[in-house]
Amino acid sequence: LWGRVDILVNNVGISGPAGNAEGVDPEAWDYAMQVNVKSVMLMAKYAVPEMRKVGGGAIVNLSSVAGLRAGHPGLLYATTKGAIVQMTRAMAGHHGADNIRVNAVCPAVIDTPMLQAVVDLQQDQQAYLQQAGDEHPIGRIGTAEEVAFAVLMLASDEAGFTTGANLCVDGGITA
Instruction: Give, for 18, the enclosing helix (H) or strand (E).
Output: none
- To 5 degrees, how large is the angle CA 37–CA 76–CA 162? 45
Contact indicator for 159, 103 with CB cutoff of 8 Å: yes
Count of positions (residues) in the chain: 175
Select from 67, 76, 134 the least CA-distant residue to 106. Answer: 67
Side-chain-side CA neighbours of residue 104 (13 Å): 25
- Residue type (1 letter), 139: G
Q: Give the count of beta carbons closer than 10 Å to the beta carbon of residue 160.
A: 11
Amino acid at 168: C
Q: Which of 31, 46, 77, 128 is catalytic?
A: 77
Task: Single out the residue of 125, 167, 164 nearest to residue 150, CA to CA.
Answer: 167
| 31 among known catalytic residues | no
**Reduced to 3 states, what is the DSSP secondary structure of residue 10?**
strand
**Hey, which residues are catalytic here?**
77
